[in-house]
């Protein structure tokens, strides 16, 4: 992707591929506050699909399971 605004267009493809690969639906998506995942359209898509968005802080090992 060339810009962070393309995330909304690509996320449904990513979601379908990941869910097919693991055989389960995505329930939580952790993201940094870089702006890619904060669009109103994407948040509405998550809400409709039952996905909870969790904002994490970059370079914080407590959020990535390495604490």
Q: For the segment 14-30, what is each residue's pLDDT rounded down to a tens digit?
A: 899 999 999 999 999 88
| pLDDT given for residue 18 in this prediction | 93
- Express each pLDDT in 49-58 by its tens digit: 899 988 887 7
Domain ranges of the chain: 4-13+25-63
Judged against a pLDDT cut of 80, whether residue 41 lies above it is answered with: yes
| pLDDT given for residue 52 in this prediction | 92
| pLDDT given for residue 13 in this prediction | 92
With 0-12 CB in 10 A as exposed, 13-18 as middle and 19+ as buried, what is 11?
Answer: buried
Residues 6+ apart with CB under 8 A from 31: 37, 53, 54, 55, 56
Greater pLDDT, 33 or 52: 52
CA atoms of 1 and 3, how far apart (whole Å): 6
Nearest to 37 by CA among 25, 49, 54: 54
């Amino acid at each position: 992707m060339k810009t962070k605004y393309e995330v909304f267009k690509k996320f449904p493809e990513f979601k379908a591929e990941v869910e097919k690969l693991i055989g389960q639906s995505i329930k939580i998506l952790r993201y940094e506050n870089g702006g890619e995942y904060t669009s109103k359209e994407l948040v509405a898509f998550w809400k409709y699909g039952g996905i909870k968005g969790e904002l994490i802080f970059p370079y914080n090992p407590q959020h990535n399971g390495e604490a």
